[in-house]
Amino acid sequence: MKRPPLWKITRELKRPLQQITQLPSRLGSLLLGRWYYDTILARKIRCAEGAIPAGPQPAVYLIFPSQGLQESHFIALRYLIDSGFAPVVVSNIPLGDADRQRLIEVCWLCIERPNFGYDFGGYRDGLLTARTRLKRIDRLVLLNDSSWFPLPGAGDWLAAAEALNADFAAAACNYGHPRVEAEHFRSINWAYSTANRNFQYCSFALMLSGGLMADPEFIKFWKRFPLTNNKKFIVRRGETGLTQWVMAHGFSHRAVLKTADLDQRLAQLPPDEIRQVAEETVIFGRPSLAALKARLLSNGAPAEDYLSFILTAVATQGVSYTLPAYLHAEEGFAFLKKSPCWLTQDGSDITLRFAAGLKGEAGQVFAAEARQLRQSRAADFPPALD
């Protein structure tokens, strides 16, 4: 029997000790975090009325403009307004007077809040505020600025999500297939299912129906959401918890991006194209997957191996991070995740090359911001080629 690699053994040995040492602070945060926020921190919330009139289609747009407002924020907001939505901008950091004034011109509400609870803390404030102020909600959108959108040449996500006619519509979903270790990549047998225990709809783009927003138990989910600054817990109780709640309560749910038949669609590509998809696959935080990718591309491999590698990467990391170029070209995917710009050099190179190929003024904006993110957050990477 093959022994697991040393890095994996070390990781598993460290995990129980880390969990024990973090237990007191975690318990305090989980037990008192929501009370602390609602009773004390919420007093610091600042809410300003904007120039866009209220309407039955609010769009909560969560931002974290640590480097100031970017032009991509306004591209996203104009898209929402042009699509008939009333933006509720929620900033997880204080805004300067000039930035606040710029936002007020393109939103219904501009909320500044203490950064507690990460994305779901911000979503919670935006969603509950919209519900309190509106007599009727036909649909509500949750979006954040972890992605550039809408990408030039992509489909209209808002229209596609509405066309699904689901109570809970997402741009994409993750972890519908059990994770496969890199050394066993050839054994993957694609069987993507919402029944997988880790399955989740991605929270960076969600559309909620009026029926879901009118359900008292759904609102109770948000009011009782356990706010904490433990990011792993927020992901587990946020993305995964929200997904599981919707499914457990019988609401219809779908994603615009279809992942269940990804294996079949990839298998139809010619060998040179499947190799290109493998080359453009973004890997981060998975040394064994990165090493596998390098080995396959260096030595050459049959199309079946490239396919198995790609599916293994998607099963492990989620589709929206992993296949930006393929999803845009073949599926019209409208989002490009930002974090690969600084997580690994290879992933950054792939992301910047893809962004550089986007057309039009928006494409130039996204590409310039991608280069700036690499420069500011990954200064040890070589300068990006224009």
Residue 63 belongs to domain with CATH number: 3.90.550
- pLDDT at residue 12, rounded to an integer: 58
CA–CA separation, 171 and 258 (whole Å): 9
How many CB atoms are located within 10 Å of the residue 104 CB?
18
Cis peptide leading into residue 150 (ω within 30°): yes
- pLDDT at residue 20, rounded to an integer: 36
Give me the number of domains the chain comprises. 2
Which domain range does residue 369 map to? 262-377
Shared-domain flag, residues 287 and 319: yes
Shared-domain flag, residues 165 and 273: no
Shared-domain flag, residues 249 and 217: yes
Which H or E run contains 120? Answer: helix 118-133
Shared-domain flag, residues 298 and 229: no
Is residue 273 a part of any domain in this protein?
Answer: yes
DSSP class of 379: T
Shared-domain flag, residues 231 and 270: no
Q: Which of 202, 236, 255 is the last residue of a domain?
A: 255
Is residue 286 a part of any domain in this protein?
Answer: yes
Is residue 99 a part of any domain in this protein?
Answer: yes
On whether the CB atoms of residues 303 and 179 are closer than 8 A, the answer is: no
**Residue ranges of the chain whose pLDDT lies below 70:** 1-31, 385-386
CA–CA separation, 127 and 119 (whole Å): 12
- pLDDT at residue 238, rounded to an integer: 92
Q: What's the sign of the alpha-carbon dihedral 177, 182, 183, 185?
A: positive
Q: Which of 210, 228, 255 is the last residue of a domain?
A: 255
- In terms of Cα–Cα distance, which of 45, 49, 73, 44 is closest to 61? 73
CA–CA separation, 107 and 114 (whole Å): 20
Shared-domain flag, residues 316 and 228: no
Shared-domain flag, residues 112 and 91: yes
Is residue 10 a part of any domain in this protein?
Answer: no
Annotate 76-92 with DSSP letters as a single string.
HHHHHHHTT-EEEEEES
Q: Which of 255, 287, 310 is the last residue of a domain?
A: 255
CA–CA separation, 30 and 236 (whole Å): 13
- pLDDT at residue 354, rounded to an integer: 98
Shared-domain flag, residues 270 and 250: no
How many CB atoms are located within 10 Å of the residue 368 CB?
16
Pairing state between β 147-148 and 139-144: unpaired
Name the pTM for this structure.
Answer: 0.91
The residue whose two tokens read 């190929």 is 357
Is residue 12 a part of any domain in this protein?
Answer: no
Buried residues in 354-363 as b, exposed as e (16+ CB within 10 A): bbbebeeebb
Shared-domain flag, residues 324 and 227: no
Shared-domain flag, residues 244 and 152: yes
Shared-domain flag, residues 85 and 225: yes
Shared-domain flag, residues 268 and 245: no
Is residue 7 a part of any domain in this protein?
Answer: no
